[in-house]
Amino acid sequence: MLELLSVLQSGRSWPGGELAERLRTSPRTLRRDIDRLRELGYPVLSTRGPGGNYRLVAGRAMPPLLFTDDEAVAAALGLRMVAFGQVEGAADNALRKLEQVLPAPLRHRLEAVSASTEAASRSGPTLDLDVLRRLSTAAYAHQDVRFSYRNRAGTSSRRRVEPYRQILLGRRWYLLGWDLDRADWRTFRLDRITEVTTSGTTFRARDLPEDGAASFVQRTTSGPDASRQGVVRFAAPAEMVSERLVAEAGSLTPIDGHNCRYVTAAESWEWLAVALAAVGVPYTIEGPLELLAHSRTLAARVTAATA
């Protein structure tokens, strides 16, 4: 029964003969087991005749899920990484439920992977899942939304927006939307959005900015103040640096086959100084002075620790 349920949860339609052969059982036993699953509340659809097949579909409630060993470890690891700080409550609860039923060998495997893994985004703000859900539903249905938004100065205002994309950039979530009162594209940090409501009206989708949603958000969140942008020249190809760079927010541009330049807005110069050093290739800081100062402090601290 459990093996049958696991196979059906793959999402495909299974011909009766093929399914019975896979489970090493008879068609009669298969039909009996399908009836038992239905009695337990699993909605299994079937078609009769020579091309008859079985398929598990979505029901009114979420049924228990069956995972292979690798799927269970991957799911638990993903939940643990999410629970580092951005979706704490729901992810923590789901993770506890999953870890509670993991067999000892799988639990040890998960602990080994987790002990040697870190998330650079764990210090980001906690994400309100209700805000994420409401905005996602509205964007999918092309519904206008209203919400309260607190800007960088701490001033709150009501905004009327057509929501389009929610983007994880660096350590923060952003909403890309068309501001109806300003008649222009705007980027909003999700952790500053509260009191989301839908007006009941729909909109016709506009063409996204030419450089794409993610690039637009990345460019606009850099801010107009150039003094808040870190500029670094790496003495290595852009392909190599991109594989090692933890600070994902920013633009990495090739200069030639052996050098590239990285430009990023920084909320913490100290964190950026550590991320740059962790790339492991020679680099030169072109600005600003704050990044230079924090990098020198970091170098002195490391030198003192290894003296």
pLDDT classification of 247: cutoffs 50, 70, 90: low
Question: Which of 220, 254, 271 represents a domain boundary (last residue)?
Answer: 220
> pLDDT for 256-301, tens place per residue?
888 999 988 766 788 888 888 888 899 999 988 888 999 999 899 8
Provide the residue range defining the domain that includes 81: 69-115
Q: Where are the beta strands (DSSP E) in the chain?
A: 14-15, 44-46, 53-56, 143-150, 156-169, 172-179, 184-189, 193-202, 229-234, 251-254, 260-265, 283-287
Question: Is 124 among the domain residues?
Answer: no
User: Do 287 and 204 fall into the same domain?
Assistant: no
How many domains, in total, are found in the chain? 4
Are 239 and 287 spatial neighbours (Cβ–Cβ below 8 Å)?
Answer: no
d(CA 35, CA 151): 57
User: Do 141 and 216 fall into the same domain?
Assistant: yes
Residues ≥6 apart with Cβ < 8 Å to 107: 99
Question: Is 239 among the domain residues?
Answer: yes
How much is the pLDDT for 283?
94
d(CA 10, CA 6): 7
C-alpha dihedral (161, 163, 166, 170), degrees to nearest 10: -30
Segment 234-252 shows an average pLDDT of 80
Tell whether the model's pLDDT for residue 249 goes beyond 90. no
User: Do 106 and 136 fall into the same domain?
Assistant: no
Are 261 and 231 spatial neighbours (Cβ–Cβ below 8 Å)?
Answer: yes
User: Do 249 and 270 fall into the same domain?
Assistant: yes
User: Do 216 and 133 fall into the same domain?
Assistant: yes
CATH code for position 32: 1.10.10.10
User: Do 211 and 241 fall into the same domain?
Assistant: no
Residue 211: DSSP 8-state: T
CATH code for position 230: 3.30.70
Are 42 and 59 spatial neighbours (Cβ–Cβ below 8 Å)?
Answer: yes
Tokens 């029901």 belong to residue: 59
Question: Which of 220, 255, 286 represents a domain boundary (last residue)?
Answer: 220
d(CA 18, CA 104): 34
User: Do 236 and 214 fall into the same domain?
Assistant: no
Dihedral pair phi/psi, residue 188, rounded to 5°: -125, 135
Question: Is 63 among the domain residues?
Answer: no
How much is the pLDDT for 267?
65
Are 161 and 188 spatial neighbours (Cβ–Cβ below 8 Å)?
Answer: yes
Are 230 and 263 spatial neighbours (Cβ–Cβ below 8 Å)?
Answer: yes
Question: Is 26 among the domain residues?
Answer: yes
Question: Is 120 among the domain residues?
Answer: no
Other Cβ atoms less than 10 A from the Cβ of 135: the count is: 25
How much is the pLDDT for 121?
45
User: Do 212 and 230 fall into the same domain?
Assistant: no
Question: Is 123 among the domain residues?
Answer: no
> pLDDT for 95-154, tens place per residue?
777 776 677 777 777 776 666 555 544 445 667 778 888 898 899 999 999 999 998 778
Question: Is 33 among the domain residues?
Answer: yes
User: Do 137 and 216 fall into the same domain?
Assistant: yes
Tokens 């030169």 belong to residue: 284
Q: Where are the beta strands (DSSP E) in 141-273?
A: 143-150, 156-169, 172-179, 184-189, 193-202, 229-234, 251-254, 260-265
Closest CA to 208 of 248, 163, 160, 168: 163
CATH code for position 155: 2.30.30
Name beta bridge partners: 45: 55
User: Do 26 and 87 fall into the same domain?
Assistant: no
Other Cβ atoms less than 10 A from the Cβ of 29: the count is: 13
Q: Give me the count of residues in the chain.
A: 307
User: Do 208 and 235 fall into the same domain?
Assistant: no
Question: Which of 220, 236, 267 represents a domain boundary (last residue)?
Answer: 220
Tell whether the model's pLDDT for residue 88 goes beyond 60. no
Which SS3 state, helix, strand or coil, does residue 174 take?
strand
Percent helix, strand, coil in the chain, to 5, is 40, 25, 35
Question: Is 187 among the domain residues?
Answer: yes
Dihedral pair phi/psi, residue 196, rounded to 5°: -80, 130
User: Do 233 and 295 fall into the same domain?
Assistant: yes
Q: In what order do the strands lie in the sheet with 251-254?
A: 251-254, 260-265, 229-234, 283-287
> pLDDT for 193-202, tens place per residue?
999 999 888 9
How much is the pLDDT for 86?
55
